[in-house]
Structure 1
Amino acid sequence: MADLLISSPANPRLKTLVALRRRRTREDTGHTLVEGFEELSLALEAGVVPEALYYCPELMLDPAAQSAVVDRVRRDGVETVQVTRAAFEKAAYREGPDGFLAVVGAVTRRCADLAVGDAALLLFCEGVEKPGNLGAMLRTADAAGADAVIAADPVTDWGNPNLVRSSKGTVFSVPVASDPTADALAWLDDHGIALVATTPDTDVDYTDVDYTGPVAIAVGAEKYGLTDRVLAHAAYQVRIPMVGKANSLNVATSAAVVIYEAVRQRRRSTAPH
């Protein structure tokens, strides 16, 4: 059976896709968008089964290989819809689309749904506002082999299309959860996970702390940092030394610096002597 073909930018189905850019629509429908071949491929590898796949052959960068992915998804029983270039660019939310846009189930998970081991390594992000920063931290968590990323008192949702894009699809491969800060802190306590809070208001350098046990590295909102509640709850407060004119790093960069110190320590502790 031939795929449905959409050629009009005013097609009602495309308007439905555009509506998923809004958080309220995502929450009401339980769906979100994955745009981009690379992001879709990672989501598929993580076991995500799309509700529908919209594709545009005119925009494909590698038509032979990418058409094979469309065929694979179609064989899995997913509805595949071919879209002309003008219509696809109407639905796409990124500049320079590559012809892939999928509707998938939104990621909704609480801390209680996470399964972590005895030496868990987590990122704890309190009140982070920008989807791009959360997405960048997910990519870092994926690269570092972190066990999970927790959004405490989140301002954005894990299904934000810009977060999905900036994470390169790792929001589907790295376990994530959202909870109020108090609930997330209680969950850490219940699992014996020490909290290491990043803040400029301490004399302890981030390299002076032991990260080889179960630990969550906490970063806060872009403008104000971590709340007093999280700072007071932390086993350690650490700083990243700053010698330049600026007095802070981007929150995603700060998270990357500290989590890779944890990775370095853990590799050293398990290396043969």
Structure 2
Amino acid sequence: MLIESFQNEKIKNLTRLITDNRFRKKSGSFVVEGRQENERAAKFGFEVQDYYICESIFNEDFPKGKIHLVSEKVYEKIAYRGTSEGIIGIFKTKNPNLQDFKPKGNSSLIIVESIEKPGNLGAILRSCEAFGIDALIITDPRIDFYNPNVIRSSVGCLFGMNFFQSGNDELYEFLEQNSFNIFTTLMDESAEHLHKKDLKQRSALIFGTEHSGLSDFWVGKGKNSLIPMSGSIDSLNLSNAVAISCYEILRQKLT
């Protein structure tokens, strides 16, 4: 049956999952839009509940799962991307526990404190996946990993990553228990250039918020580091700083 009405209960539910963070958490479901993103979610073991497909736009074989066909008019309403490929999936969330994560000998972690912008988190996920970071951890988050804009800007890289949410106290205890070398990014004179740090061993790089940097909680809890710059500006966009750091970790491991 073709869904043609905006008042259809399934369409109302899907729209709420896109726009309402609390509803996503309560329902344990989230929305994935786009062919590649849906393929990655299924590939990495996320359980699909429903697919919503517009046949006039999606011109490939249907994926395995429960399919709902929607009109172009309805699809235009439920699609949250400027360009679209005619497929939206609803998947069950995973809520991994940091204490269940077993780091390997030279594991590298990226940690971001109180991140606020979905686009930055998505870009960070993409960099972490591209450069082989073992896990991304956000502490005291103000957005959730399943925000549609996070999934979109990560191009589905979320699904192939180890990702966790944690409080600072719990995280610091985990890092100490697992003998991580901690590298902070506090803006003070004690910071040394990142490329001079030994990142080949088990290490955790910790970044602060977009507007105020790393909190005082991390003062004295790690070796302070910075990315050397030669211009007049004294800081980078958070996602750019993480990307450069991820590359430096990989560069050291490959040399």
Q: How many residue pairs are counted as aligned between the two chains?
A: 253
Partner of 2:228: 241
Q: Structure 1: how far apart are the matches of 2:249 and 2:115?
A: 21
Residue 114 of structure 1 deviates from its aligned partner by 1.7
> Do the aligned residues in 2 keep the contact of 1:15 with 1:91 (CA within 8 Å)?
no
Could you tell me how far 1:47 is from its partner in structure 2? 1.9
1:116 correspondence with 2:103: yes
User: Which residue of the partner structure matches residue 163 of structure 2?
Assistant: 176
- Deviation at 1:245? 3.2
State how far apart, in whole Å, the 2-side matches of 1:131 and 1:171 are.
12
The more displaced of 158-167 and 8-17 is 8-17
Q: Which amino acid aligns with 1:228?
A: D
On the 8 A contact 1:121/1:148 being kept in 2, the answer is: yes
Given that residues 50 and 91 in structure 2 are in contact (C-alpha distance below 8 angstroms), is that contact kept between their aligned partners in structure 1? Answer: yes
Structure with more helix by fraction: 1
- For 2:92 and 2:158, how far apart are their aligned partners in 1? 12
Residues of 2 paired with 1:209 and 1:145: CA distance? 18
Q: Which amino acid aligns with 1:156?
A: I
Q: Equivalent residue for 1:260? A: 247
Equivalent residues of 2:108, 2:204 under 8 A apart:
yes
CA offset digits 1:6-47 (Å, max 9, x no partner):
112232211111101211001110111111111111112212
CA distance in 2, matches of 1:190, 1:87: 51
Indicate yes or no: 2:12 matched with 1:24.
no
* Contact 1:33 1:104 (C-alpha < 8 Å) held by counterparts: yes
CA distance in 2, matches of 1:52, 1:176: 24
Tell me the SS of whatever aligns to 1:102: strand
Mapping of residues 11-160 of structure 1, within 5 Å: 11-20=8-17, 21-60=19-58, 63=59, 66=60, 68=61, 70=62, 72-73=63-64, 78-160=65-147
Three-state SS of the structure 1 residue aligned to 2:192 is coil
The answer to whether the Cα contact below 8 Å between 2:46 and 2:93 also exists between their aligned partners in 1 is no
Residue by residue over 1:57-108, the C-alpha shift from the partner in whole angstroms, topping out at 9 and shown as x without a partner, is 2223xx1xx2x2x2x41xxxx2111111110111112222211111111232
Residue of structure 2 equivalent to 1:225 = 213
Distance 1:93 1:161 in 2: 8
* One-letter amino acid of the structure 1 residue matched with residue 118 of structure 2: P
Q: Distance in 2 between matches of 1:15 and 1:30?
A: 16
Whole-Å Cα distance in 1 between the matches of residues 24 and 6 of structure 2?
22
**Alignment-derived partner of residue 6 in structure 1:** 3
The structure 1 segments of at least 4 consecutive aligned residues displaced by more than 3 Å after TM superposition are none
The letter for the 1-side match of 2:215 is T
Q: Is the 8 A contact 1:9 1:88 kept in 2?
A: no
Q: What is the alpha-carbon root mean square deviation over aligned residues?
A: 1.3
Query: In structure 2, how many angstroms separate the alpha carbons of the residues matched to 1:6 and 1:254?
Result: 45
Deviations 1:139-186 (A, max 9, x none): 111111111100111111111111111111111110100011111111
Deviation at 1:207, TM superposition (A): 0.9
Q: What is aligned with 1:271?
A: none
Structure-2 separation of matches of 1:135 and 1:184: 21
CA distance in 2, matches of 1:227, 1:129: 14
Q: Deviations over 1:202-257 (max 9, x none)?
A: 341111100011001111100011111123211x1111123323221011110111
SS of alignment partner, residue 57 of structure 1: coil
For residues 108 and 100 of structure 2, what CA distance do their matches in structure 1 show? 16
Q: Aligned-pair distance for 1:113?
A: 2.5
With the length of structure 1 as denominator, give the TM-score of the two structures: 0.89
Residue in 2 that maps onto 1:188: 175
CA distance in 1, matches of 2:25, 2:237: 29
Distance 1:193 1:84 in 2: 52
| Equivalent residues of 1:114, 1:177 under 8 A apart | no
Paired residues of 2:111 and 2:138 also in contact (CA < 8 A) = yes
Partner of 1:213: 201
The percentage of counterpart residues that share the same residue type is: 30
Gap runs ≥5 in structure 1: 269-273
